C-alpha cells in the first residue's frame, strides 16, 4: 500500500481541523442559555430560593431567598451561598451536606438570555488588587517625600 504524500497528509489534517471547528461551534441552545443564566446568577441578577431539607425526616431545615450565587465544594461536601443584601453588602453562608441533607435551588423569576452568544464579563475589581492599608495618610506622605529626597 503506498504511503500518502506530504500534500495528502496536509489535506487530511486540514479536513480534520475543519470538522473539529464545525463541531466545536455546534452547541445546543440550552447549553448556551444555561451558561448565561449561571453567569447572571453569579453576578447577583437572578432571584433564587435555596431549600435545604432532611431526606429521612422529610422536614425543611432552612430556606435562603434572594439574589444568591451558589458554589458547591465537593472536597468538603458543603455548599457556599453568597447573597447580595444591599448595594455593596453581601452575606456568605456555608452549609454542610450529608447523606440525609440535600438542597434544591429554585429560580424565582425568568430571565431573558441569548442563546446565540456567550456573555463575557470583565470586572476591574478582579483584575486589579484591592489594597488594604493600615496606618495614617501622614505616614504615606512621609514615605513618599523621603523616597523623593534619596
pLDDT per position as a tens digit, 94-138: 988 888 888 888 888 887 877 776 666 666 666 666 667 677 778
Domain ranges in the chain? 6-149
Cβ atoms 32, 118 nearer than 8 A: yes
In the chain, which residues have pLDDT < 70?
1-12, 14-27, 117-131, 133, 147-150
Q: What is the pLDDT of residue 92?
A: 94
Q: What is the pLDDT of residue 81?
A: 93
Q: What is the pLDDT of residue 58?
A: 85
Q: Residue holding cell 495618610?
A: 137
Query: What's the pTM?
Result: 0.58
Q: Which burial class, exposed, middle or buried, applies to 140 when counting CB atoms under 10 A from its CB (0-12, 13-18, 19+)?
A: exposed
Cβ atoms 69, 105 nearer than 8 A: no
Alpha-carbon gap, residue 54 to 27, rounded angstroms = 37
Q: What is the pLDDT of residue 67?
A: 94
Q: What is the pLDDT of residue 114?
A: 73
Q: What is the pLDDT of residue 102?
A: 87
Q: What is the pLDDT of residue 85?
A: 93
Amino acid at each position: 500500500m503506498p504511503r500518502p504524500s506530504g500534500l495528502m497528509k496536509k489535506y487530511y489534517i486540514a479536513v480534520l481541523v475543519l470538522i473539529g471547528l464545525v463541531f466545536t461551534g455546534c452547541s445546543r441552545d440550552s447549553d448556551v442559555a444555561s451558561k448565561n443564566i449561571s453567569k447572571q446568577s453569579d453576578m447577583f441578577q437572578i432571584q433564587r430560593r435555596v431549600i435545604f431539607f432532611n431526606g429521612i425526616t422529610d422536614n425543611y431545615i432552612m430556606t435562603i431567598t434572594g439574589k444568591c450565587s451558589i458554589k458547591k465544594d465537593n472536597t468538603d461536601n458543603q455548599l457556599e451561598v453568597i447573597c447580595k443584601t444591599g448595594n455593596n453588602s453581601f452575606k456568605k453562608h456555608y452549609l454542610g451536606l450529608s447523606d440525609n441533607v440535600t438542597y434544591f435551588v429554585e429560580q424565582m423569576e425568568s430571565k431573558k438570555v441569548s442563546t446565540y452568544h456567550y456573555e463575557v464579563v470583565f470586572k476591574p475589581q478582579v483584575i486589579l488588587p484591592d489594597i488594604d492599608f493600615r496606618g495614617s495618610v501622614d505616614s504615606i506622605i512621609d514615605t513618599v517625600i523621603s523616597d523623593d529626597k534619596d
